[in-house]
Structure formats: C-alpha cells, structure tokens
Structure 1
C-alpha cells in the first residue's frame, strides 16, 4: 500500500453551520466513491476570525437540528455523485 496522497483527495461540496461552526462535506479520494464527512468544526475567535479547525466531537442539539434541516439537500447532492445500491 502506497499510503495517503493528498493530491488525490478532493472536496466536492461543503456546508457550514454558522451557529456552531460544524462542517459537513462530500469528499472523494482518487477514483473511489464520494462519501460524507462530518467535521471538523471551525469556531470563531474573539476577534471574529476563524480559528484553527477542531474535531467535530459530540454534536449538540443545535448541530443535530441544523443537520436535520440540511439532510435532504446533502443526500441529493451525494446521490448526484453516486447512486445508492
């Protein structure tokens, strides 16, 4: 196995919850199937700028509510890349 090659890793679509900083994205590695990734989380610093990415960790009710409201759009986008089996 050759190992991970960053040049083969593509982010196809991304959504961000402005309230909690949670990122959801569709990613594809090489010719593999696109897959959904939950996280990282980008929080705002006191100065209003984005801080360094952090693990998504456990989801709050705000995260779950946002994800629930976005899930149909996310599912449609993922299905546009790969049909369910």
Structure 2
C-alpha cells in the first residue's frame, strides 16, 4: 500500500477568518469523498506578513460565531459535491 501523496490532495473551497486566522476548507484526496477540514490557523506578524501555519487548536467564541455565520454556505457547497446518501 502506497503512502500519502500530496499531489492527490486537492483544496476545493476555502474560507478564512481574517480576524483570528482560522481557515476552513473542503479537501478531497484522490477520488475520495470531499471532507471539511478545520485549520490551520495563520496569524499575522507585527509587520503584517503571514506567520507559518499552525494547528487550529481550540476555537474561541469569535471562531465559533464566524463558523456559525458561514456554516450554511459551507454545508451547501459540501452537499453539492457529496450529494444525498
């Protein structure tokens, strides 16, 4: 069995919380089912440039409220790709 191949990992859609740096994305590996990924989190340096990505970790109330605001859009996008079961 072959290992992970980054060439087969595709980002289909992405949302970024500009305030907290949290990224939510729909990813698909090869021909597998598209799935929701929470993270990474990309914070800003003092000079305004992006720091290296880090784990999302625990979500703040700001992250939860932002996710609540976009969840219908995310659900619709993912549902269109996966379809009913």
* TM bucket normalised to smaller: over 0.9
The aligned length equals: 85
CA distance in 2, matches of 1:44, 1:84: 39
| TM-score with structure 2 setting the length | 0.98
CA distance in 2, matches of 1:55, 1:16: 14
Q: CA RMSD in A?
A: 0.6
Moved over 3 A (4+): none
Where does the alignment leave 5 or more consecutive residues of structure 2 unmatched? Answer: none
Residue-by-residue CA offset, 1:10-66 (whole Å, 9 max, x unaligned): 000000000100000000000000000000000000000111000000000000000
In the other structure, the counterpart of 1:52 is: 52
| TM-score with structure 1 setting the length | 0.98
CA distance in 2, matches of 1:7, 1:44: 28
